[in-house]
Structure 1
């Protein structure tokens, strides 16, 4: 195998594995408001089912941190997660399960998405999600609706936009992501992306407007058309953080994180 292929995968994997072992300097674990749960959308994968109307794959991951909306929800603890995506026609069902590595935290998300519009370049999805999170003494639930847009500039450039509304917080969060992909041979894919995140009451006690900029490198390698190895590293830069005025900005910070995982196509 070409040394550049091996090097690209190992470089991002090492950052991911390093992040998984990282802890805060004092070793303490802080569990933030479980309201800030993960918005589960379609995962990027190279795995493709022979039936274009039906697909089913599952993924297990280990991540150094649990970061959503630019905030570290489990300071000092990483996250194990498992998800599966079953798609038929325009419908997709995506359950997602997660457990803190060194914290008493667990979460379940059940998501349904439906493709409402599709052209050669543009796809539009609407969805509903049920979220439930638990700690030793706190349990929280939420219901969310979302709309997601995917626009392909070309085979290697893509623009994504996602807007999701929390009924519990009665607010919105929006994310815009630009992705540039690099394909090496038939099995190795490297995605470089940049994202902007905007709060509009979703983090009810956080500041509204632009919250963060995130840079991310994700790599995946397919084995025998059924198994996909993946790793990522990302850096999130907090924008306009003001924890003196907004309690929800306390964990909005500059963060380096990473993760590794495996997907299987049924």
Structure 2
């Protein structure tokens, strides 16, 4: 068994701040910066608005052959008004062949006293030596995490992305995602959502 230890510094802009199929900042985009190794910090700012979010996390990710499990704990701060939270996450992924892999992820929230799960199929293919295209399809399930009114199918997401290795240890990426609202999202008054993102990733 080996430890999958790799540091990174990432900065990203996304046109909408959508999580769990819900637009958290209607009509606003989000800037974020992440720096981490096995512990790290993620900070985000609403473009032109007061919202701020800080996440401090610890993660353990051993390498077990083809299996890629992980476990983490995150302390979340939401400004200016929402109370803090602590979340525990775990998941595992495994390649099915040279292009396609499958992943299962779960998160439990202390504040919500609920959990949220996602099952994904991910395909990656090199279009040229420095350029990689990816496609991800995810089905999610809510159990008291995003909504207390209904437990069940939450949303289905599809994401496409291009990742360009601009130079050693530096990637530039862009992506687009679409979320089809499930019963859980619609009962909360939500609908289908789509958004894009661009960013830089520096590995060390």
Match of 1:101 among 47, 71, 74: 47
Given the alignment of the two structures, is residue 58 of structure 1 paired with residue 9 of structure 2, yes or no?
yes
Q: 1:153 to 1:224 in 2, by over 3 A?
A: same
- Secondary structure at the aligned position of 1:104 is classed as coil
Residue 122, structure 1, aligned to residue 67, structure 2:
yes
Q: Are 1:207 and 1:242, in contact at CA under 8 Å, matched by a contact in 2? A: no
Q: Which deviations, in whole Å up to 9, do the C-alpha atoms of 1:231-261 show, x marking residues without a partner?
A: 1001100011575xx5xx12x3101110111
For residues 55 and 44 of structure 2, what CA distance do their matches in structure 1 show?
A: 9
SS in 2 for 1:126: strand
State the partner residue of 1:42.
none
Q: Does 1:80 align with 2:18?
A: no
Is this contact kept in 2: 1:241–1:253, CA < 8 A?
A: no
Q: Report if aligned partners of 2:176, 2:196 keep a CA contact under 8 Å in 1.
A: yes
Q: Note if 1:262 corresponds to 2:200.
A: yes
In 2: Cα distance, 1:104 partner to 1:223 partner? 34
Is 1:149 aligned to 2:87, yes or no? no
Q: Which has the larger radius of gyration?
A: 1
Q: Could you say which structure has the higher helix fraction? A: 1
Residue 160 of structure 1 corresponds to: 103
Q: Which has the higher contact order (CA 8 A, sep 6+)?
A: 1
Question: C-alpha displacement at 1:74, in angstroms?
Answer: 0.3
Using the TM superposition, give the Cα deviation of residue 156 of structure 1 relative to its aligned residue in structure 2, in angstroms: 1.5
Residues 258, 53 of structure 1: alpha-carbon distance in 2 compared, 3 angstrom cutoff: closer
Relative distance call for 1:254 and 1:54 in structure 2 (3 A) is closer
* Residue aligned with 1:74, SS: coil
Q: Kindly state the Cα deviation for residue 75 of structure 1 after the two structures are TM-superposed.
A: 0.3
SS, match of residue 35 in structure 2: strand
What is the rounded CA distance, in whole Å, between the counterparts of 1:53 and 1:147 in structure 2?
Answer: 15
Instruction: Give the corresponding residue for 1:189.
Output: 132
Matches within 5 A, 1:1-266: 54-86=5-37, 92-115=38-61, 118-135=63-80, 138-241=81-184, 246=187, 249-250=188-189, 252-266=190-204
Relative to total residues, which structure has the larger strand share, 1 or 2? 2
Indicate if the aligned counterparts of 1:60 and 1:81 stay in contact, CA closer than 8 A.
yes
Give unmatched runs, 5+ long, in structure 1. 1-51, 87-91
In the alignment, structure 2 segments of 5+ residues that lack a partner are: none
Deviations 1:14-70 (A, max 9, x none): xxxxxxxxxxxxxxxxxxxxxxxxxxxxxxxxxxxxxx9753221110000111111
The CA deviation at 1:94 is 3.0
Q: How many residues align?
A: 202
Cα 1:199/1:71, change in 2 over 3 Å: same
Over the aligned positions, Cα root-mean-square deviation in angstroms equals: 1.7
Is 211-220 or 182-191 further displaced after alignment?
Answer: 182-191
Moved more, 154-163 or 118-127: 118-127
Q: Helix, strand or coil for the counterpart of 1:55?
A: coil
